[in-house]
């Protein structure tokens, strides 16, 4: 039996801020299912204050001790529960994780996640789960791989552990001033070369160097990040290590995102019987006090409002798009200028636009269920989950051909009555192309028969984890 331990900063349904949480909340169970008795997959994450009391009530304390980090000796508690048949371990430390508000973005993140990685590694023999594969996700877990190599490998109990490092977004690398190397990370000066890149400590760079395999969340992104346009400076490192670089497309949680059972949407529907989707549109129009009409296409944008998500393409064409008879619903928060723009857009088009400057998962699901067309014009996108969720809820995606968007959405066309593709796509990072493709999607939507056929095809596209879980198992096999 092969033991796999996922380590990462967030997982649904316990605590999450983005796509990483979706993945760590669903992929482990999928790998467990695909591997059956041949694998034992577990997950370790911090016990944030945001983890609800009902989950806490299900946890048992399985280990308590202290851990050394630099000169500090710090409490560690390990709690555990089972979710979807997978054991989740939680590293408990009030001082680091018992805080209100955001999960990360605190002044002492370097110390918090160094502690998390050290605590996780040090407890493994005592919780009786030293894995065959330590699978670390993003910069917050990078030090687990680095510490394993620098400090733990000499201990016979850890000697055989193989490591995988998955990049969910290369933009966030964990960069710090070199002075914290000894003081905060407890790493000897002699490893400065390994730990630094461009005169900064760079945790992602060091993890890429130390691990046995690097993966990222789509095949296209795996090749893009070897290019300086996408790499945020790490292309040299990735070119050097390209033999151990893999790209595996994410899936989505088919239980969590299921219009047939979703408890937060008004009317349930499926690819076989999509007609009831209309009732969700009506409900949202009522809730948002938009004109209640089923003959107007509802376009949605659910995103962080930042330029690399394509907001700088969307803003110049928004008013022009709204000259047409459409409705637009925006959900998300981000940079002030984009938030202000969305407010202004709603002011200028009160009968057509609603800008919800907030983030709430339930609201997002209501919008996915209500909307007809979903925009995702990202400049770069490691994988992207929203285009898959939108598809499952029967919205026609309009995406830019990059990263996982390119791998998951293929352009629609028809030859002799046969339909190909599952959305609208454009290649260049150009506002005109976004405008043109969005209009193409709107015109298609107005043709009822074609719309029905395409929406059904889109809803049936397989974005479940099945195939990808197998690919992870194959990648683990390559390590031995
Ligand atoms: C990050 C990426 C996103 C990806 C997600 C899960 O949030 O930006 O594209 O889908 O991680 O891997």
* Ligand 1 nearest-atom number relative to CA 378: 9
The residue contributing the CA closest to ligand 1 atom 10 is 384
Pocket flag, ligand 1, residue 397 (CB < 6 Å): no
- Distance, in Å, from the CA atom of 90 to the CA atom of 326, rounded to the nearest integer, reads 47
The residue contributing the CA closest to ligand 1 atom 5 is 19
pLDDT for res 380: 96
263 assigned to some structural domain: no
pLDDT along the chain (480 residues), means of 10: 98 95 97 97 98 98 95 95 97 97 94 98 98 98 98 95 98 96 95 96 98 98 97 97 98 96 97 92 98 98 96 98 98 97 98 96 97 98 98 98 98 96 98 98 97 97 96 98
217 and 346 inside one domain: no
163 assigned to some structural domain: yes
260 assigned to some structural domain: no
Residue with tokens 């430390």: 93
292 and 384 inside one domain: yes
Q: Look up the pTM and report it.
A: 0.96
136 and 107 inside one domain: yes
393 and 355 inside one domain: yes
225 assigned to some structural domain: yes
306 and 198 inside one domain: no
Distance (Å) from CA 382 to ligand 1 centroid: 6
Pocket flag, ligand 1, residue 217 (CB < 6 Å): yes
58 and 147 inside one domain: yes
Residue with tokens 């490192």: 237
198 and 100 inside one domain: yes
pLDDT for res 274: 85
Pocket flag, ligand 1, residue 303 (CB < 6 Å): no
394 assigned to some structural domain: yes
The residue contributing the CA closest to ligand 1 atom 7 is 19
Pocket flag, ligand 1, residue 379 (CB < 6 Å): no
206 and 64 inside one domain: yes
244 and 302 inside one domain: no
259 assigned to some structural domain: no
66 assigned to some structural domain: yes
Specify whether the backbone of 460 is left (phi greater than 0), alpha (psi in -120 to 50) or beta: alpha
pLDDT for res 191: 97
Q: How many domains in the chain?
A: 2
Domain of residue 148, CATH code = 3.40.50.2000
- Distance, in Å, from the CA atom of 31 to the CA atom of 320, rounded to the nearest integer, reads 46
- Distance, in Å, from the CA atom of 391 to the CA atom of 407, rounded to the nearest integer, reads 14
pLDDT for res 151: 95
169 assigned to some structural domain: yes
The residue contributing the CA closest to ligand 1 atom 6 is 19
403 and 451 inside one domain: yes
* Ligand 1 nearest-atom number relative to CA 168: 11
Residue 126: CB partners within 8 Å, gap ≥ 6?
63, 65
Give pLDDT tens digits for 233-277. Answer: 999 999 999 999 999 999 999 999 999 999 999 999 999 888 899
Give pLDDT tens digits for 47-92. Answer: 999 999 999 999 999 999 999 998 899 999 999 999 999 999 999 9
pLDDT for res 462: 97
pLDDT for res 273: 87
169 and 304 inside one domain: no
pLDDT for res 117: 98
244 and 348 inside one domain: no
Pocket flag, ligand 1, residue 247 (CB < 6 Å): no
Pocket flag, ligand 1, residue 250 (CB < 6 Å): yes
134: containing domain = 2-251+465-478
* Ligand 1 nearest-atom number relative to CA 22: 6
Distance (Å) from CA 456 to ligand 1 centroid: 26
């Amino acid at each position: 039996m092969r033991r796999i331990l996922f380590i990462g900063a967030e997982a649904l349904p316990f605590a999450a801020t983005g796509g990483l949480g979706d993945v760590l909340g669903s992929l482990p169970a999928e790998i467990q299912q695909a591997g059956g008795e041949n694998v034992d997959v577990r997950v370790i994450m911090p016990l944030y204050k945001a983890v609800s009391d009902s989950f806490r009530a299900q946890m048992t304390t399985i280990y308590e001790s202290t851990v050394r980090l630099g000169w500090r000796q710090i409490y560690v508690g390990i709690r555990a529960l089972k979710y979807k048949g997978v054991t989740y371990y939680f590293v408990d430390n009030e001082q680091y994780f018992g805080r209100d508000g955001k999960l990360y973005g605190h002044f002492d993140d370097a110390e918090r996640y160094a502690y998390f990685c050290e605590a996780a590694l040090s407890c493994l023999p005592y919780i009786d789960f030293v894995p065959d594969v330590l699978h670390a996700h993003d910069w917050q877990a990078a030090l687990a791989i680095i510490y394993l190599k620098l400090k733990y490998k000499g201990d016979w109990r850890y000697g055989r552990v193989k490591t995988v490092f998955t990049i969910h977004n290369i933009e966030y690398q964990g960069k710090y001033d070199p002075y914290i190397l000894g003081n905060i990370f407890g790493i000897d000066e002699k490893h400065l070369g390994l730990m630094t890149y461009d005169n900064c400590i760079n945790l992602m760079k060091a993890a890429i160097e130390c691990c046995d395999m690097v993966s990222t969340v789509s095949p296209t992104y795996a090749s893009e990040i070897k290019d300086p346009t996408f790499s945020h400076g790490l292309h040299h490192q990735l070119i050097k290590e390209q033999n151990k670089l893999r790209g595996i497309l994410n899936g989505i949680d088919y239980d969590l995102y299921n219009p047939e059972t979703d408890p937060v949407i008004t009317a349930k529907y499926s690819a076989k019987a999509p007609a009831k989707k209309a009732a969700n549109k009506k409900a949202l129009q009522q809730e948002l006090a938009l004109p209640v009409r089923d003959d107007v296409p509802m376009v949605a944008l659910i995103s962080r409002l930042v330029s690399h998500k394509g907001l700088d393409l969307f803003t110049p064409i928004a008013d022009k798009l709204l000259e047409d008879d459409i409705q637009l619903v925006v959900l998300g928060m981000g940079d002030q200028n984009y938030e202000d723009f969305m407010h202004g857009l709603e002011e200028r088009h009160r009968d057509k636009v609603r800008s919800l400057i907030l983030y709430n998962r339930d609201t997002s699901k209501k919008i996915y269920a209500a909307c007809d067309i979903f925009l995702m014009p990202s400049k770069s996108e490691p994988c992207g989950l929203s285009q898959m969720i939108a598809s499952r809820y029967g919205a026609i995606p309009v995406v830019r051909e990059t990263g996982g968007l390119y791998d998951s959405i293929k352009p629609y066309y028809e030859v002799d009555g046969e339909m190909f593709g599952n959305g609208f796509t454009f290649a260049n990072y150009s506002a005109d192309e976004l405008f043109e493709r969005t209009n193409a999607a709107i015109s298609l939507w107005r043709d009822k028969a074609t719309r029905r056929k395409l929406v059904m095809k889109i809803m049936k596209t397989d974005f479940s984890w099945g195939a990808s879980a197998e690919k992870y198992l194959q990648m683990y096999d390559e390590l031995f």
